[in-house]
Amino acid sequence: MSSQGLLEGTYGTRMGMTEDTLSLLDRNRGSAELWDMAETKPSMEALERSVPGLYLSCFDMLLTEETTWLVKVSEAPPTLPVPMARMEPQEEPEQCPVIDSQEQGLSPGLEGQEEERSLEQVQSMVVGEVLKDIETACKLLNITPDPIEWSTGNVQKWLLWTEHLYRLPHAGKAFQELTGKDLCAMSEEEFRHRSPQCGDTLHAHLDIWKSAAWMKERCSVGETKTAGNEELWSEADSSCSGQPIHLWQFLRELLLKPHSYGRCIRWLNKEKGIFKIEDSAHVARLWGLRKNRPAMNYDKLSRSIRQYYKKGIIRKPDVSQRLVYQFVHPV
C-alpha cells in the first residue's frame, strides 16, 4: 500500500477515530478535581504532579488498551487523537513485524520485551509528533505553545484552529472574552456548560496543549527533545527527598547537568564554586517552574540569592562580575 493510500484512508476515518480516542482521553479525567482546585485558588501546586501523570496515562491508554485495535486495523491505519495524522505514512504497517508476530502468537518469551520496547519507541514518537504539531500550529497562528499565556484573541484563534481540524461546530462565541489563563483554570464541566456539543473535546485538546507546554518547559534547554524522557524524570532526584527544594540546591542541580543546562548556567570555577548565570530569564523561568511560581523572574530570584549572603551559602566572588556568584562551601 502506498503512503498516498494510507493518507487517504487515515483521513477518511479520522473523525471516527478522533471521537473514539478522545472519549478514551475523557475517561482519564481523574485529575479534573485538581484543575477545579486551581480554579478557586490559582496556586497550581497540584498541577506539577497531575500533569505528567495525566500526560503519560493519556498515551498509556492509547498504547495499551488500544494496542489490539492498533494492530487489527492495519489495513486502515489509525489516527492518533491529536493533529498528527501526517506522521502516519512514515510508519507503514509492514514496518511492524513485532506486532504482527504478536498477533500470530510467535515467540511468547520475547514478545513482552519486544512489545515494551516498541511501545516505548512509539510513545516517544507520539510525544515528539504532538510537540511538532503544536509547534506548527503555533507558527501558523502566531501564538505561544503555552495556553496560559494566551490573550483572548489567541484563544479565539486556537478555537478556530481546533474546530477546523476536527470539524467541530463553531463555539468561539461561548468562549469570548476568556484569556488562556481563564481557559486553563476551567473544568471540563464548565467547558461543557459553555459548549454542550464540543466542550469536552476542546477541554481534552487543551489538556494536551497544557501537558505539552509543561513538557517543553522541562526540557526546553538544549535539544533534549523527546529522547530525554528517562532523564526528565530522574531529574526529580533531589526534590523527591521530601522537603521542598532550596534555591541553592536547585542551582546546584542545574550546574550538575551541563549537558542540559550549560547554556543558561555553568561553572566558571567548579573547585571554588564560582558559577555564572548565562541566561538569567531562563534560569528564573526554570526556578518558577519548579516552585510553581509562574511570575518568577530574575529580579526576584536574584533577591533570594542575595538572602544567602547573610547566611553564608552564596556570595559574590572576590572580583565581582555581572551574573557571577560563588558557593561559599563548594563540594
Q: Quick one: which segment of 51-59, 118-126, 173-181, 303-311 binds DNA (CB under 7 A)?
A: 303-311
Under the binding rule (CB under 7 A), the answer on residue 316 touching DNA is yes
Under the binding rule (CB under 7 A), the answer on residue 296 touching DNA is yes
Rounded to an integer, what distance in angstroms lies between the CA atom of residue 315 and that of residue 328? 6
Residue whose CB is less far from DNA, 27 or 329: 329
| DSSP-assigned states of every residue in 112-158 | HHHHHHHHHHHHHHHHHHHHHHHHHHHHHHT--S-GGG--HHHHHHH
Q: Which three cell numbers stand for residue 313?
A: 551559602
Q: From the CB of 265, what's the least distance to DNA, in Å? A: 12
Q: From the CB of 291, what's the least distance to DNA, in Å? A: 4
Q: How many alpha carbons fall within 13 Å on the CB side of residue 223?
A: 0
Residue whose CB is less far from DNA, 27 or 322: 322
Per the listing, cell 497562528 goes with 141
Q: Quick one: which segment of 100-108, 132-140, 176-184, 288-296 binds DNA (CB under 7 A)?
A: 288-296
For CA atoms 253, 257, 262, 263, the dihedral sign is: negative
Under the binding rule (CB under 7 A), the answer on residue 85 touching DNA is no
Under the binding rule (CB under 7 A), the answer on residue 238 touching DNA is no
Footprint of DNA on 13-72 (CB under 7 A): 43
User: According to CB under 7 A, which one of 299, 319, 329, 331 is a site residue for DNA?
Assistant: 299
Rounded to an integer, what distance in angstroms lies between the CA atom of residue 172 and that of residue 169? 9
Residue 325 parent element (H or E)? strand 324-327
Rounded to an integer, what distance in angstroms lies between the CA atom of residue 303 and that of residue 263? 22
Q: Quick one: which segment of 135-143, 181-189, 225-233, 302-310 binds DNA (CB under 7 A)?
A: 302-310
Under the binding rule (CB under 7 A), the answer on residue 241 touching DNA is no
Rounded to an integer, what distance in angstroms lies between the CA atom of residue 110 and that of residue 99? 12
Residue whose CB is less far from DNA, 13 or 292: 292
Q: From the CB of 47, what's the least distance to DNA, in Å? A: 15
Beta-sheet pairing, 324-327 with 274-277: antiparallel
User: According to CB under 7 A, which one of 303, 319, 329, 331 is a site residue for DNA?
Assistant: 303
Under the binding rule (CB under 7 A), the answer on residue 301 touching DNA is yes
First-to-final CA distance of the chain: 60
Under the binding rule (CB under 7 A), the answer on residue 263 touching DNA is no
Rounded to an integer, what distance in angstroms lies between the CA atom of residue 169 and that of residue 22? 16
Rounded to an integer, what distance in angstroms lies between the CA atom of residue 302 and that of residue 280? 9
Residue whose CB is less far from DNA, 158 or 298: 298
Q: Is 159 exposed, middle or buried (0-12, 13-18, 19+ CB in 10 A)?
A: buried
Q: From the CB of 140, what's the least distance to DNA, in Å? A: 29
Evaluate whether 299 touches 238 at the Cβ level (below 8 Å): no
Under the binding rule (CB under 7 A), the answer on residue 319 touching DNA is no
Residue whose CB is less far from DNA, 125 or 247: 247
Evaluate whether 178 touches 150 at the Cβ level (below 8 Å): no
User: According to CB under 7 A, which one of 246, 259, 263, 272 is a site residue for DNA?
Assistant: 246
Rounded to an integer, what distance in angstroms lies between the CA atom of residue 79 and that of residue 35? 28
Q: Quick one: which segment of 89-97, 149-157, 220-228, 316-324 binds DNA (CB under 7 A)?
A: 316-324
Under the binding rule (CB under 7 A), the answer on residue 192 touching DNA is no
Under the binding rule (CB under 7 A), the answer on residue 247 touching DNA is yes
Applying CB under 7 A, the residues found at the interface with DNA are 43, 246-248, 277, 280, 287-288, 291, 293, 295-296, 298-304, 306-307, 309, 311, 316, 320-324
